[in-house]
Amino acid sequence: MGNSFNMNAKELITKERERQKTLWSISHDDQYIDGELSMGAFAYMNNSIVWWPNNWDKGMFKPSTQKRNLEKGGALLLAEKERLERALNHVNTDLDITIKRLETELLKEESERCNVPPPGWKCSREVGHDGPCAASKQF
Ligand SMILES: [Zn+2]
């Protein structure tokens, strides 16, 4: 990327994000589920410790020039974006697993039901039940 005078804003933020990654691991970022990374970003963007997360060491807030503050704030927002994307991937995976398990349950339920009714009708009683069929039309 060359020296910082030739870098645009996005490159400067990306470079700062790379620096942060050498200090804090991804699993460390994943602990901050209460918006801490965004709060830390707001602290730098507004040059004000009032936004600094309560569960972060206040000595870690090191504002300097407005340019550096914006680089650090932008990099913290990138970290938050990446964390949310990982969390979303996790939710999507869990949702896929849940859908597959529910589909298996539905097949199981279907196979345990009475097979007397015509297509489109369903009986809530078990396969081979005695007495009257409880079939009703499914819409
Ligand atoms: Zn039946």
- pTM value is 0.74
Does residue 138 lie in a domain region? no
- Per-residue pLDDT at 124: 86
- Per-residue pLDDT at 3: 62
One-letter amino acid for residue 110 of the chain: E
- Per-residue pLDDT at 50: 97
Does residue 41 lie in a domain region? yes
Does residue 38 lie in a domain region? yes
Contact 26, 78 (CB under 8 A): no
Return the DSSP state at 47: T
Gyration radius of the chain's alpha carbons: 28
CA of 118 to the centre of ligand 1 (A): 10
Give the sign of the dihedral formed by CA 18, CA 22, CA 23, CA 24: positive
- Per-residue pLDDT at 4: 64
Does residue 126 lie in a domain region? no
CA of 100 to the centre of ligand 1 (A): 27
Neighbours of ion ligand 1 (CB under 5 A): 114, 116, 123, 125, 133
Return the DSSP state at 59: G
- Per-residue pLDDT at 54: 96
- CA–CA gap between residue 45 and residue 70 (Å, rounded): 5
Does residue 134 lie in a domain region? no
User: Domains in the chain: how many in total?
Assistant: 1
Structural domain boundaries, residue 61 = 4-114
Instruction: Spell out, as residue ranges, where the chain has pLDDT lower than 50.
Output: 1
